[in-house]
């Protein structure tokens, strides 16, 4: 199961909001976390 890189919530891939960055897909629990990631993707993409 994917984990939201911003808040750390584990979620069902089918229910997640998806954003692609640097050739990789990232999964988010909500648009808010996706928006936070989009502002500073380097900070959160290193967590995975």
Question: Does the pLDDT of residue 44 top 80, yes or no?
Answer: yes
CA distance 14 to 42: 25
Residue 35, domain extent: 1-48
Long-range contacts of 40-48, Cβ-Cβ distance < 8 Å, separation of 24 or more: 44/5, 44/6, 45/5, 45/21, 47/5, 48/3, 48/5, 48/24
For residue range 18-41, list pLDDT tens digits in order: 999 999 999 999 999 999 999 999
| Domain CATH for 19 | 2.30.170
Q: How many domains is the chain partitioned into structurally?
A: 1
- 12 pLDDT band, cuts 50/70/90, is very high
The confidence score (pLDDT) of residue 47 equals 63
In which band, very low, low, confident or very high, does the pLDDT at 48 lie, cut at 50, 70 and 90? Answer: low
């Amino acid at each position: 199961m994917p984990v939201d890189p911003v808040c750390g919530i584990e979620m069902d891939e089918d229910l997640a909001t998806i954003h692609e960055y640097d050739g990789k897909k990232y999964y988010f629990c909500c648009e808010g976390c996706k928006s936070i990631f989009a502002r500073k993707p380097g900070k959160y993409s290193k967590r995975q």
